Amino acid sequence: MAAPPEAPPLLELAGIGKSFPGVRANDAISFAVAPEEIHALIGENGAGKSTLVKIIYGVQQADEGVIRWRGAPVAIPSPKAARKLGVGMVFQHFSLFEPMTVIENIALGFDHAIDRRELERKVAQILSAYAIPLDPRRTVHTLSVGERQRIEIVRCLLQNPKLLIMDEPTSVLTPQEADRLFDTLRQLAREGCSILYISHKLGEIKALCDRATILRGGKVVGSCDPKQESTRRMAEMMIGAELKTVARAARAGGGQERIAVAHLSHPAPGHFGVALKDISLSVRAGEIFGIAGVAGNGQTELLLALSGETRSAPDMITLDGRAIGAFGPGRRRRLGLCAVPEERNGHAAAPDFTLAENTVLTARQRLGLVEHGFIATAKTRDYAARIIERFAVKAHGVSALARSLSGGNLQKFIMGREILQTPDALIVSQPTWGVDAGAAAAIHQALVDLAARGSAIVIISQDLDELLTLCDRLAVINEGKLSAPLAISGVSIEQIGLLMGGVHGEAAQRREERAHAPA
């Protein structure tokens, strides 16, 4: 890609290549970031975005190719070298230390010792210059994800970066938090700092970025001005095929109530857990019910309570009128309630089991995969093969270890394992987390089809777009409390955002209580 004509590029990549055993992660990638430009790097999962930015930040080394910084070739052997050049990075998975304070975490981001008082002064300066709300004395584990991200940003800003790399920064933010972040980024760009923005959310790239480079299968497949291009066109460049839209038949609203949760409360399970407070909801046959919220507000605990991993009083949860609150996951599954937890490796699947063996974990009761106490190997292999075929899972057959699959592919497998059992009720957390757009559409379609057959589905997700596409009604979970359900047809993103508690201070809290009040 040619550099924008008016200025010499700040960063220029020429022919960058990187291979891992069995995968060509980056292949002859060339593009340039101009000074003061907000440059988007978009692509599906596995397109090579993460590898590429790790190379720019010195976490990994390219096998071939040249990196030029202000026109001169440079070697970036370590993150330290990258920071020295003026490259800062905010990781998708934050590099924070939970039991330490904000200021300690910031101090750890420095390459040299720094006087504590001096540091506090500098941090206060940055916080006020960019209007970032953050208390430097708090311990990280008490902070929301949005606040944690601000620590990372402050860390970077303290180094006076010339280029700031943001890796999927909004995947964990409420809409309001995301807007606040965009304001900060725009201010930074105005002040002369280029931004390399990695995302697959095309809407925000359209709103924020000046240029976009599109990656697919480790190669650059195009570039565009996102303000001119339609999101649909960009999505199609990303996946290299035409985008399918989820076909949703109009549903008869008056199905029978299948799942009912009544005044479910549960104490916080551990140090960092969230207590569930008086949660009530009801899902009818054929209905998809969404639960929105910022991560860490009780979603995990709610999923465990619904799946049966934590038990409650019998009549707090009913399935088709039957009190199942005191039953464990196995019994609930036999009765027709299946669940998919958020964590794929180690919770939804055993990483060192083969895919066939993993089917036994949750499908043995409903599909009879265990006969007379023995695993029916042929049946498990058949079932695994069916899932692989039906959900286009990329794996080396049914004997592949679960850990050998990429996150998105394992997610497809796990979703398929539950959906193909045609459960009467399905609880899923983050059904398309880390799954590329094409596969996400397939999973969404499968969920809609399952509902059409009369199942009741609960989707716990942080992806509002996903919930708005799929659900009939949704409620927002915040600090372990569930809001009154809202019909999708009459709800705005702002309204949901406020319920998520994304706006700091009392106002959001009051508004939330008001939303609860009429219920």
Distance CA 299, CA 342 (A): 9
- Does 63 bind another protein (CB under 8 A)? Our answer is no
* Subset of residues 86 to 115 that bind another protein, contact rule: CB under 8 A: 91, 93-100, 104, 107-109, 111, 113
- Does 78 bind another protein (CB under 8 A)? Our answer is yes
Q: Which is nearer to another protein, 99 or 490 (CB)?
A: 99
Distance CA 377, CA 366 (A): 16
Distance CA 425, CA 178 (A): 33
The least CB distance from residue 509 to another protein, in Å, is 27
**Can you tell me which of 59, 126, 145, 295 binds another protein, judged by CB under 8 A?**
59
Q: Which is nearer to another protein, 112 or 514 (CB)?
A: 112
Contact 42, 18 (CB under 8 A): no
Site string for another protein, 29-58 (x = CB under 8 A): -----------------------------x
Contact 443, 391 (CB under 8 A): yes
Distance CA 383, CA 87 (A): 48
The least CB distance from residue 97 to another protein, in Å, is 4
The least CB distance from residue 148 to another protein, in Å, is 11
Interacting span for another protein (CB under 8 A) from 78-86, 254-262, 294-302, 344-352: 78-86
Place of tokens 């839209």: 245
Distance CA 428, CA 259 (A): 14
The least CB distance from residue 100 to another protein, in Å, is 7
CA 188, 193, 199, 205 dihedral sign is: positive
The least CB distance from residue 268 to another protein, in Å, is 10
**Can you tell me which of 17, 65, 79, 136 binds another protein, judged by CB under 8 A?**
79
The least CB distance from residue 51 to another protein, in Å, is 11
Interacting span for another protein (CB under 8 A) from 26-34, 75-83, 397-405, 463-471: 75-83
The least CB distance from residue 80 to another protein, in Å, is 5
Q: Which is nearer to another protein, 101 or 365 (CB)?
A: 101
Which amino acid type is present at position 440?
Answer: A
Q: Which is nearer to another protein, 150 or 180 (CB)?
A: 150
CA 402, 418, 274, 292 dihedral sign is: positive
How far from the centroid of its chain's Cα atoms is residue 303's Cα?
Answer: 17
- Does 83 bind another protein (CB under 8 A)? Our answer is yes
Contact 182, 206 (CB under 8 A): no
Q: Which helix (H) or strand (E) holds 493?
A: helix 493-499
Q: Which is nearer to another protein, 137 or 271 (CB)?
A: 271
Q: Which is nearer to another protein, 24 or 504 (CB)?
A: 24
The least CB distance from residue 200 to another protein, in Å, is 21
Q: Which is nearer to another protein, 80 or 453 (CB)?
A: 80
* Residue ranges with strand state E in 43-83: 64-69, 72-74
Q: Which is nearer to another protein, 83 or 162 (CB)?
A: 83
Distance CA 471, CA 101 (A): 39
- Does 351 bind another protein (CB under 8 A)? Our answer is no
Q: Which is nearer to another protein, 102 or 476 (CB)?
A: 102
Q: Which is nearer to another protein, 28 or 295 (CB)?
A: 295
* Subset of residues 5 to 24 that bind another protein, contact rule: CB under 8 A: none
In DSSP terms, 17 is beta-bridged to 64
The least CB distance from residue 21 to another protein, in Å, is 13
The pair of structure tokens assigned to 340 is 């998919």
The least CB distance from residue 112 to another protein, in Å, is 9
The least CB distance from residue 110 to another protein, in Å, is 9
User: Can you tell me whether residue 325 is helix, strand or coil?
Assistant: coil
Q: Which helix (H) or strand (E) holds 6?
A: none
Residues 6+ apart with CB under 8 A from 513: none
Q: How far is CA 203 from CA 90, 165, 328, in A?
A: 20, 19, 42
Count the Cβ atoms, other than its own, within 10 Å of residue 283: 25
Distance CA 44, CA 57 (A): 21
The least CB distance from residue 40 to another protein, in Å, is 22
Q: Which is nearer to another protein, 78 or 399 (CB)?
A: 78
Site string for another protein, 247-286 (x = CB under 8 A): -----------------------xx---------------
The pair of structure tokens assigned to 496 is 């949901």
Q: Which helix (H) or strand (E) holds 277?
A: strand 276-284
Contact 424, 344 (CB under 8 A): no
124 HSE (CA, 13 A, CB side): 7
- Does 346 bind another protein (CB under 8 A)? Our answer is no
In DSSP terms, 139 is beta-bridged to 101
Q: Which is nearer to another protein, 20 or 245 (CB)?
A: 20
The least CB distance from residue 107 to another protein, in Å, is 7
Name the nearest CA neighbour of 35 among 184, 162, 160, 207: 162
How many residues belong to the site for another protein (CB under 8 A)? 23
Instruction: List interacting residues with another protein (CB under 8 A).
Output: 58-59, 78-80, 83, 91, 93-100, 104, 107-109, 111, 113, 270-271
